[in-house]
Amino acid sequence: NAGVTQTPKFRVLKTGQSMTLLCAQDMNHEYMYWYRQDPGMGLRLIHYSVGEGTTAKGEVPDGYNVSRLKKQNFLLGLESAAPSQTSVYFCASIDSWGSPEAFFGQGTRLTVV
């Protein structure tokens, strides 16, 4: 059982480049989330989705876009990367009918130079 899988695991971008991070979960969870982790800041919510075709902004959404075209996938896009977006990104999912214990992917370490 793979759980939550993120691709890629590492990426280096130049300022102004774009990229998409992919999150896939095989647990049939309704809710999915993108967080970023920065030193001393904990995990901060970027965007989230409560179901296929729906997305909403979290705490730090600026500079990011998301899409949830399929229930199992949640994509995070950076249209024009900035050094401030250097971070570790985590995707998570929750079973909306059970306890809110989120399952996390292994993370994507992104460096913007």
Partner 1 sequence: DQQVKQNSPSLSVQEGRISILNCDYTNSMFDYFLWYKKYPAEGPTFLISISSIKDKNEDGRFTVFLNKSAKHLSLHIVPSQPGDSAVYFCAASARVGAQKLVFGQGTRLTINP
Q: Which residues contact residue 41 at a Cβ distance below 8 angstroms, ignoring those fewer than 6 apart?
A: none
State yes or no: residue 68 binds partner 1 (CB under 8 A): no
Select from 12-20, 36-44, 69-77, 79-87 the region that touches partner 1 (CB under 8 A).
Answer: 36-44
**How many Å apart are CA 60 and CA 44, to the nearest integer?**
7
Q: How far is the CB of 15 from partner 1 (least distance, A)?
A: 25
* Region for residue 30 given its phi and psi (left: phi exceeds 0; alpha: psi -120 to 50; beta: otherwise): alpha
Work out which of 27, 41, 82, 113 binds partner 1, going by CB under 8 A. 41
Q: Does 96 bind partner 1 (CB under 8 A)?
A: yes
Shortest Å distance, C-beta 74 to partner 1: 13
For residue 84, give the 3-state DSSP assignment: helix
* Residue whose structure tokens are 């399952």: 103
Widest Cα–Cα separation across the chain:
42
Binding site for partner 1 (CB under 8 A): 4, 31, 33, 35, 40-45, 48, 50, 56, 58, 90, 92, 94, 96, 99-107
